[in-house]
Amino acid sequence: MENLFYLCINNHDCPDLVIKKVYQSINDSTASNYGQIRIIDESEEDYLYPEKFFVPVEIPKVAEVVFDLAA
């Protein structure tokens, strides 16, 4: 499974999101059809948020350790 990361650029009405923070997402093609993205937020649970609140970012493999994703 590909690890996807997104930078939060807007948190309007979503105080649980931190602007300028990188979040891990979970692939959810159904949510994507509705303009939503499944993000693991500050509660360490995954929730749907508007895709327009995020921009995708590429994390170097060596940095994935920080996200507890090292193989």
Domain covering 4-67, topology: SH3 type barrels. (2.30.30)
**Domain limits, the chain:** 4-67
| pTM given for the model | 0.81
Residues 3 and 54 sit within 8 Å (Cβ to Cβ): no
pLDDT of residue 71: 37
Q: How confident is the model at residue 68 (pLDDT cuts 50, 70, 90)?
A: low
- pLDDT above 90 for 53: yes
> What CA–CA distance (Å, rounded) separates 8 from 61?
20
As beta bridge partners, residue 26 has: 38
Compute the average pLDDT of residues 16-42. 93
3-state SS class at 67: helix
Residue 17 CA to residue 11 CA, distance in Å, equals 6
The average pLDDT across 32-52 equals 93
Contacts with 1 (C-beta within 8 Å, 6 or more apart), sequence order: 27
pLDDT: which is higher, 1 or 28: 28
